[in-house]
C-alpha cells in the first residue's frame, strides 16, 4: 500500500464526516430559526448570508489548529485537516478554505438589493457559483491521488487519516496537473452553460414582469416579489392554451390566506401589464417564512383569479 492510500482520507469517510457535521449544523439552524424567526423573516433572502457566516465559522474554526483540525464528524471518523507538512491549519487559512467551499453554494439563489445586483454582477455571480460547484465535484470524485478539491488546493490542505506522527506524509505527491486543466475547463463550461440556460428560460416579457415585481414590492406588507408568466393546455385533448401571470409575494406577517390582499396584488399587476387582455388569469402565491441556508420554515397559499374575477383588463 503506497503512502497516499495510507494517509489520505477516502471519499466515503470524508462524506460520512460531512454528513455527521451536516446533522449537527441542522440542529444549530433549527434552534436559531426558532429563536430569531421574526428577524430572519425581515431580512428575507439575505438570511443566507447569516447561514454562510455560521457554517464557515463552524468548519473554519474546528478544522483549524485551534480545535485540532477536526470537526465533530472528523473526530468521530478519525480524520483531520492538515497541510503538506502534516501541520494543522492556522485559523485564517482554515476560514479561507471553507469560504471557498461554502460561499458559492449558499449564494446560489440569493437575490441581492438592486443597488448591488446589476446585470453584469448577476451574470458573474451565476458563472462563478456554477463553475465552482462543478469544479469541486469533479475534483472530489476524480482526484484519487490526494483527494484534494478546489478549496484544498487553494490553501494547500489535505484531509488525512489520523496517524501517529508519520513523517512519511511530508513526501506525499501533489495533485496531478491534468486535474488542474480539467477543473479549469469544467469551470468555464459550467459557467457558460449556466448563463445560456438562464437566458433560455427567461420570459420574453422579463423586463415588464420585473417592473411589475418592483411596483408590487413597494406594498408595505411585502418583502419581495417574483413575477413570471406561463402557458398551459387546459387538458390533454385541448388545442387552446391558457396564459397566466404568476406572482410570488413574500410577506411580512403570516397572512398567507388573505384573499383580498392577494386580489389586490393581482389587480395591480393587471393594471400594469400591457398585454392584459391576452391573459386568462393571475395566480398569486402568498409566502411567509425564512431560509438561512442551514434552516428554513415556510407557510404558503395559492390564490388563483380569472379575468372575470378581477374585472375587465384596463389596458387596450
All residues at 6 or more sequence positions from 231 whose CB lies less than 8 Å from its CB, including other chains: 241, 242, 243, 244
Confidence of residue 119 (pLDDT cuts 50, 70, 90): low
- Least confident stretch, 79-83, 130-134, 187-191: 187-191
Res 46 pLDDT > 50: yes
Res 113 pLDDT > 60: no
All residues at 6 or more sequence positions from 241 whose CB lies less than 8 Å from its CB, including other chains: 231, 232, 233
What's the whole-number mean pLDDT along residues 260-278? 87
Report CA 29 to chain centroid distance, whole Å.
16
pLDDT score of 74: 95
Q: Are 290 and 251 in contact (CB under 8 A)?
A: no
What's the whole-number mean pLDDT along residues 281-295? 92
- Predicted structure pTM score: 0.72
Amino acid at each position: 500500500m503506497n503512502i497516499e492510500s495510507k494517509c489520505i482520507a477516502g471519499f466515503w469517510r470524508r462524506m460520512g464526516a460531512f454528513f455527521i457535521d451536516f446533522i449537527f449544523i441542522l440542529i444549530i439552524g433549527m434552534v436559531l430559526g426558532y429563536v430569531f424567526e421574526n428577524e430572519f423573516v425581515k431580512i428575507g433572502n439575505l438570511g443566507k448570508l447569516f447561514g454562510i457566516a455560521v457554517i464557515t465559522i463552524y468548519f473554519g474554526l474546528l478544522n483549524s489548529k485551534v480545535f485540532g483540525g477536526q470537526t465533530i464528524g472528523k473526530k468521530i471518523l478519525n480524520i483531520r485537516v492538515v497541510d503538506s507538512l502534516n501541520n494543522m491549519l492556522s485559523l485564517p487559512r482554515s476560514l479561507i478554505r471553507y469560504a471557498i467551499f461554502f460561499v458559492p453554494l449558499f449564494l446560489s439563489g440569493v437575490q441581492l438589493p438592486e443597488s448591488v445586483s446589476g446585470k453584469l454582477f448577476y451574470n458573474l455571480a451565476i458563472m462563478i457559483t456554477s463553475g465552482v460547484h462543478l469544479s469541486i465535484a469533479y475534483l472530489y470524485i476524480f482526484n484519487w491521488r490526494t483527494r484534494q478539491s478546489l478549496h484544498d488546493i487553494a490553501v494547500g490542505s489535505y484531509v488525512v487519516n489520523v496517524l501517529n506522527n508519520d513523517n512519511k506524509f511530508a513526501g506525499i505527491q501533489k495533485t496531478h496537473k491534468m486535474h488542474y486543466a480539467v477543473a479549469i475547463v469544467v469551470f468555464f463550461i459550467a459557467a457558460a452553460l449556466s448563463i445560456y440556460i438562464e437566458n433560455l428560460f427567461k420570459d420574453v416579457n422579463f423586463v415588464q414582469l420585473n417592473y411589475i415585481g418592483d411596483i408590487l414590492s413597494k406594498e408595505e406588507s411585502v418583502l419581495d416579489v417574483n413575477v413570471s408568466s406561463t402557458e398551459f393546455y387546459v387538458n390533454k385533448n385541448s388545442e387552446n392554451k391558457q396564459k397566466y401571470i404568476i406572482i410570488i409575494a413574500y410577506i411580512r406577517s403570516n397572512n398567507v390566506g388573505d384573499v383580498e390582499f392577494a386580489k389586490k396584488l393581482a389587480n395591480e399587476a393587471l393594471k400594469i401589464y400591457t398585454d392584459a387582455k391576452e391573459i386568462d388569469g393571475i395566480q398569486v402565491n402568498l409566502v411567509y417564512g425564512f431560509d438561512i441556508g442551514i434552516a428554513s420554515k415556510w407557510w404558503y397559499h395559492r390564490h388563483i383569479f380569472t379575468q372575470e374575477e378581477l374585472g375587465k383588463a384596463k389596458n387596450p
